[in-house]
Amino acid sequence: MELLIKLFSITVFASTLRIATPVILASLGGCMSERSGVINIGLEGMMLMGAFSAVVGSWFFGAWTGLLLGVLTGGLMGLLHAFMSVTLKANQIISATAINIMAVGLPNILIPVIWENHYGISPTVPVIADINLPLISSIPIIGDIIGHQNPIVYIALLLVPLISFLLFKTKLGLRIRAVGEHPLAADTLGINVYRMRYIAVTISGLLAGLGGAFLSIAYQSQFSSAMTAGRGFIGLAAMIFGRWSPKGALLACLLFGFADAFQASAQSAGVPIPPEIMLSFPYVLTLVALVGLFGKIALSPAANGKPYYKG
Amino acid sequence: MKKNFLYSTFIDNDSVFAFIKAILGVFFAFFVVYFILLATGYKPLPVFAALFKGAFGSRRGFGETLLSTTPLLLGGLGFAVAYRCGLFNIGLEGQITMGGIAAAFFGFIIPEINPVIHVFICIIAGIVAGGIWGFIPGYLKAKFGVHEVISVIMLNHIAFKIAAYLVSMQGPMKDKLDDMPASPFISDSAKIIRIMDRTRLHWGIFLAVGVAVLIWLLLFRMRLGYKIRAVGKNPFAAEASGISIKKHIVLTLAISGALGGLAGAVEILGVHYRLFAAFSPGYGFDAIAVALLGMVNPLGIIASAFLFGILRSGSVFMQAMYGVNKDMVSVITAIIVLFMGMSVPIGIMLKNRIKRNSNGTVD
Amino acid sequence: MAAIVKMQNIVKRFPGVLANDDISIEVEEGEILCLLGENGAGKSTLMNILYGLYHYDKGEIFIKGEKTTFSGPGDAIDKGIGMVHQHFMLVPVFTVLENLILGSEKVKGLSLDLNSSKKELEAISDKYGLEIQLDAQVSDISVGMQQRVEILKLLYRGADIMIFDEPTAILTPQEIEELYKVMQSLRLLGKTIIFITHKLKEVKEISDRVIVLRDGKLIETIDTESTSIRELARMMVGREVLFRTEKPEVETGREILNVKNISALNKRGLPALKGLSLNVHEGEIVGIAGVDGNGQTELVEVLTGLRKISSGIITIDGKDMVNKSSGQFLDAGTAHIPEDRLLRGLILDFPIYENLLLGFEDKAPFAKGLFLDFNKVRSWAEELVKNFNIKTPGVNVNAGTMSGGNQQKAVLAREFQRNPKVLIASQPTRGLDVGAIEFVHERIMDAKKEHKAILLVSLELSEIMNLSDRILVIYEGEIVAEFNYGEVTETEIGLMMAGGEDK
């Protein structure tokens, strides 16, 4: 009983939010990109590059500039993916895989160039500090869970309805979705298919960059090689689980966040399961969640993954 | 008519473009890295020279080149088989890990016996373990429609965690007599024999080349390979002609994973002689570039695996000589993958160029 | 009257094809102009150029006397040009309203202003008498309504030059009449209409003038009144055309295909076949007539092992075939000409010999243990290419580089090679030119002479009526009527295709 209380303490829920944040941002990025018809398994690499740039920016100019740099780098990666897959019509999975490979290697090259005698891991940099929400933090329980968090956590939570609004209630969103479902139809109505996809994939990169920046200058205070540890892919799985909708994806992300927070608290509570096995819990859960979709018709945008050729 | 025939049988044959494209890709990658080196304050040409000197300049260096060629070749073949079936197996790193675990286990648990039998048992164990790790995403895709790219990434992480656990302090495969997080050494009879003095090069390279020929036969001469390619190019037409999509997805990913498992087993039995957590330095990811650069043709992959072997072994020397991080190689890898991914525009560009030349002017 | 559209010396090249070869046309204001030509003659290409969808290599375009260049359809829409495409340009998962406003959205602040668009659209559809449910999802409405949505799309954008690309292909004869009426009333309201078709009868019925294209070239511009169907046919095809395939008298034999009360779902999980029954005998051609989307695709998939049924019986020559695999269907004696040869029929990136091998790879003499004898495959393929008169530089050429007609011949060659008991032919002549259509029809007749049982599914009513011994009409997943050859008129069938007398 005591163990159970420990396992489901308020800190678990609070850290659920923190852990879910980068995954939420990745899954929002996934929604943007794939709704426009571009598969983006490069979210992982975009996050990683974002995380690295954020640390560099934070080291030289302070945390908030670092955040901006991280977001912009993610956007730049998105732009690269858009160029490859929209303009050059490369296989979208190959293009994204290249981004993922590059994102592992490039920081390792640059770290020793920027910080002498550092390899694979950056020095500690200034972070974006947690804030107190004035009124909410004084509410019992709820205040303990959401009252005292990192600003990026709040930004991520706000972005969920915002991206949802963008996709489903605005002119731009209607056009992005049209391009992802039936690009030729959109083209016949004078909509620039390429431009829509560029916009969507770049926004996707910006979001991933934000997620990466959160990891390196908020959740942690340094960059380490491959620190995203598959979160971009988990975000993608959450997006599929949420059927390409931001709100659905949010729920899936919270579930994964909880799984991760739970394993961490179980570990510290001394549950006799080896930590390595506990650490694999979120990955196993992701697999199980995807299998759980079986039988339900979760159709992806009809033109997802298909390059569009103009006549 | 004559020209037309020539054009369609020879020029239109993908292999010519494939070759030109691959060469262009490598040059392009070095071209970009040239500027990255310049920007980060190195002299590019001596760095490149060191790269090749490291790979060829000494007996040891050359041995190391062929040594890293081995798992790259096997991994590249694994990726290629799946790719030919329209599947994207970026889970080879996990499959290599599982193969390595299995081979190490049978390597040290069985005492000294006949070396041929022992190596054979360990290799089969590796193939089976990798095969299972490939079968799972195949089954999940066929039965539940789970996209293989996501499931293999999850399985990669799970495999890494399993390996880490097995050799961790309380792990069941941990060598109790050693402080290192590693398994006991395998029996001498499980070690693959070395073939070059003063190098670590072992028989695995011949095995890998043999497997490449076998996979070529499989893909282009055997019934199974024909069906695999048919499913890969157009699953709907294949299905309409009685070829089961699901069966071949599962089978192909199992074969692909088995090749990864074989790579892992050979790495353990021929190089490390014991299991430790991250024994593969990303061979499974390089395998993607190897396969794409080799135009997913086993014979091409032999050549591209050798090239990546050069990069791998040369980069160590390059780092020692000039302090350029050996991860520069992964940037080269990424750029090659990017370039090979641009198949459509480059292919069209090349074809138009040749077409124009052979048909005279257009107007 | 003044020329509202003038296209001069238009040249458009696709890789390997000269789609438009120096074509000049003029369209007069307020007329209905027919653009007549076979599949591949270049008429859709020409109109896609006028609509700004394709860029052209040479030539000039004048709209209302003004020289114009389009960078995309947006520019054409601004000039008052609208086009109803052959394949509807509608997003299936969007509502009708969303489809209508796409690209011309009204906004209030940041968000879409659906209400004011809706009011405006309701006013327009009332004015033209177009009955449309604005809030329905496109995938749920009938084909006829989808076409009305396309027309409303044009009107909403203020188009006065309206291009219709083969608009009748998917309609019942009654719906075609309705469409004609709409077109006439549009003309009365001052719209100019360009009507693309390959059906001669339609030209005579609706148009004021005809422009005939063949092989990318302009053949003739002529007033409709001063020509005949026979003359038009000759101009379109370039030779005399027989309008009817000789139908051999063949004694029908025992029942081969028997289908009783089958039900199946479509790929969206909705009921597509609802207790359908039919049978086909040796030497008999049974035609399935119906409007697209009434279960034909699913029926063919069920009968070739590509879709599972939830209830019912299927037997081939007495053998139970319920939910057997596609391979088992082939083994039981089925051959299949798929409705979409590019999707189900061929592997475009495979050479011809590997395409012809599909389904034979496990059989003698090609299979040798685990291996395939590709030399045998090649020489066999060369023979088939000769027998079926497939025009190709060799069997090593990828199927994707061949013309549609030759691709279909390759499919036919392979499927007839199976020596089937029953041939399932789904839209076997879709998108082919007259020569290829004749070839396909002759082969189907040959199969009949060889006492094959043949199930012919087609959206071309005339094809069904000319070839079939028995005609079954499919409507919403059921067979609603059965007729014998020669005992029925197009109008009667059309009525049944729309769901029977009560409609």
CB contact under 8 A, C325 and B244: yes
State yes or no: pLDDT of C194 exceeds 90.
yes
Residues C353-370: tens digit of each pLDDT:
999 999 999 998 999 999
Start-to-end C-alpha separation, chain A:
68
State yes or no: pLDDT of A94 exceeds 90.
no
Which residues does C344 contact at the CB level (< 8 Å), separation at least 6? B236, B237, B239, B240, C306, C336, C338
Q: What are the E-state strand segments in C333-375?
A: 334-337, 367-368, 371-372
Residues A119-142: tens digit of each pLDDT:
889 999 999 999 988 878 788 787
Residues C26-55: tens digit of each pLDDT:
999 999 999 999 888 999 999 999 999 999
Asked whether residue B347 is domain-assigned, the answer is no
Gap between the Cα atoms of A67 and A73, Å rounded: 10
CB contact under 8 A, C112 and A174: yes
Q: Identify the CATH class of C3-237.
A: alpha beta
Among A20, A28, A151, A152, which residue's Cα sits nearest to residue A78?
A28
Least CB–CB distance from B158: residue in A111, A236, A284: A284
Average pLDDT over residues B88-96: 96
CB contact under 8 A, B224 and C362: no
Architecture of domain C243-333+420-503: 3-Layer(aba) Sandwich (3.40)
Least CB–CB distance from C372: residue in B9, B221, B244: B221
Gap between the Cα atoms of B156 and C446, Å rounded: 57
Least CB–CB distance from B285: residue in A101, A229, A283: A101
Q: SS3 for C191? A: coil
- pLDDT, position A311: 63
CB contact under 8 A, C345 and B237: yes
Which of C88, C91, C267 should be substituted to probe chain A, the one whose Cβ sees the most A Cβ atoms within 10 Å?
C91
Asked whether residue B41 is domain-assigned, the answer is no
Gap between the Cα atoms of A18 and A257, Å rounded: 8
H helix runs in chain A, sequence order: 2-7, 10-35, 43-61, 63-82, 92-114, 142, 151-169, 171-181, 183-188, 193-214, 231-241, 246-268, 275-279, 281-292
Q: Å from B154 to nearest chain A CA? A: 5
- pLDDT, position A294: 59
Counted domains in chain A: 1
CB contact under 8 A, A178 and C110: no
Beta-carbon neighbour count of residue B352 at 10 Å? 12
Domain span including residue A88: 2-293
Chain A contact present for C93, CB below 8 A: yes
Residues of chain A contacting B345 with CB distance shorter than 8 Å: 88-90
Asked whether residue A306 is domain-assigned, the answer is no
- pLDDT, position A57: 97
- pLDDT, position C7: 96
Chain A contact present for C343, CB below 8 A: no
State yes or no: pLDDT of B357 exceeds 60.
no
Q: Å from B261 to nearest chain A CA? A: 21
Contact A37, A255 (CB under 8 A): no
- pLDDT, position C263: 97
Which residues does A4 contact at the CB level (< 8 Å), separation at least 6? none
Asked whether residue B287 is domain-assigned, the answer is yes
Q: Which residues in C have their CB inside 8 Å of a CB on B? A: 13, 304-306, 325-331, 336, 338, 343-350, 354, 357-359, 361-362, 367, 370-372, 374, 393-394, 396-398, 401
CB contact under 8 A, A184 and C92: no
Gap between the Cα atoms of C173 and C205, Å rounded: 13
- pLDDT, position B12: 42
State yes or no: pLDDT of C501 exceeds 80.
no
Domain span including residue B213: 70-295
Please list, residue by residue across A72-104, b when 16 or more beta carbons sit within 10 angstroms of its beta carbon and e when fewer do.
bbbbbbbebbbebbbebbbbbbbbbbbbbbbbb
Gap between the Cα atoms of C341 and A215, Å rounded: 50
Which chains are adjacent to chain A, needing at least 3 Cβ pairs under 8 Å? B, C
Average pLDDT over residues B80-90: 95
Average pLDDT over residues C465-480: 94
Least CB–CB distance from A280: residue in B157, B288, B345: B157
State yes or no: pLDDT of A68 exceeds 90.
yes
Helix then strand then coil, % of chain C, to nearest 5: 35, 30, 40
State yes or no: pLDDT of B7 exceeds 60.
no
Gap between the Cα atoms of C435 and A104, Å rounded: 59
Gap between the Cα atoms of B131 and B127, Å rounded: 6
- pLDDT, position C96: 96
Gap between the Cα atoms of A78 and A29, Å rounded: 10
Q: Å from C117 to nearest chain B CA? A: 40
Confidence of residue B3 (pLDDT cuts 50, 70, 90): very low
State yes or no: pLDDT of B5 exceeds 50.
no
* Closest residue on chain A to B346 (Cα): A88
Residue C401, φ and ψ in degrees, nearest 5: -90, -5
Which of A143-152, A203-212, B135-144 is predicted least confidently? A143-152
State yes or no: pLDDT of A11 exceeds 90.
no
- pLDDT, position B333: 87
Chain A contact present for B49, CB below 8 A: no
Taking the domains of chain C in order of start, what are their residue ranges? Answer: 3-237, 243-333+420-503, 345-419
- pLDDT, position B1: 35
- pLDDT, position A223: 97
Q: Which residues in B have their CB inside 8 Å of a CB on C? A: 1, 4-5, 8-9, 12-13, 217, 221-224, 226-227, 229-230, 233-234, 236-244, 362
Asked whether residue A298 is domain-assigned, the answer is no
Least CB–CB distance from B328: residue in A101, A109, A287: A109
Q: Which residues in A have their CB inside 8 Å of a CB on C? A: 165, 169-171, 174-175, 177-178, 181-182, 184-192, 297, 302, 310-311
- pLDDT, position A112: 87
Least CB–CB distance from A89: residue in B147, B324, B344: B344
Residues of chain C contacting A169 with CB distance shorter than 8 Å: 110-112
Q: Of the ranges A102-116, B214-228, B286-300, B342-356, which is most confident?
A: B214-228
Which of A117, A287, A293 should be substituted to probe chain B, the one whose Cβ sees the most B Cβ atoms within 10 Å?
A287
- pLDDT, position A3: 65
Confidence of residue B358 (pLDDT cuts 50, 70, 90): very low
Counted domains in chain B: 1
CB contact under 8 A, C94 and A181: yes
Which of A167-171, B130-134, B309-313 is predicted least confidently? B309-313
* Closest residue on chain A to C48 (Cα): A311
Q: Average model confidence (pLDDT) for chain C?
A: 92
Q: Average model confidence (pLDDT) for chain B?
A: 89
Confidence of residue A271 (pLDDT cuts 50, 70, 90): confident
Average pLDDT over residues B265-285: 94
- pLDDT, position C134: 95
Helix then strand then coil, % of chain B, to nearest 5: 75, 0, 25
Same topology between domain C3-237 and domain C243-333+420-503? yes
Which of A189, A191, A194 should be substituted to probe chain C, the one whose Cβ sees the most C Cβ atoms within 10 Å?
A189
Q: SS3 for C133? A: coil
State yes or no: pLDDT of B360 exceeds 50.
no
At which residue do the structure tokens 């190089």 appear? B271
- pLDDT, position A187: 94
Q: Å from C295 to nearest chain B CA? A: 18
CB contact under 8 A, B240 and C326: yes
Order across the sheet with C255-265: list the strands.
Answer: C271-281, C255-265, C311-316, C319-320
Q: Which carries the bigger pLDDT value, residue A308 or residue B343?
A: A308
- pLDDT, position A76: 97
Contact C474, C480 (CB under 8 A): yes
Average pLDDT over residues C450-464: 94
Residues of chain B contacting A288 with CB distance shorter than 8 Å: none
Average pLDDT over residues B306-331: 89
Asked whether residue B199 is domain-assigned, the answer is yes
- pLDDT, position B363: 28
- pLDDT, position C200: 87
Asked whether residue B230 is domain-assigned, the answer is yes
Q: How far is CA A78 from CA A71, A165, A242, C418, in A?
A: 11, 21, 22, 51
Q: Please report, for the domain that includes residue A248, its CATH number.
A: 1.10.3470.10
- Tell whether the torsion through CA atoms of C95, C100, C102 and C105 is positive or negative: negative
Residues B198-239: tens digit of each pLDDT:
889 999 999 999 999 999 999 999 999 999 999 999 999 999
* Closest residue on chain B to C418 (Cα): B241
* Closest residue on chain B to C344 (Cα): B237
Q: SS3 for A224? A: strand
Residues B51-79: tens digit of each pLDDT:
999 999 899 999 999 999 999 999 999 99
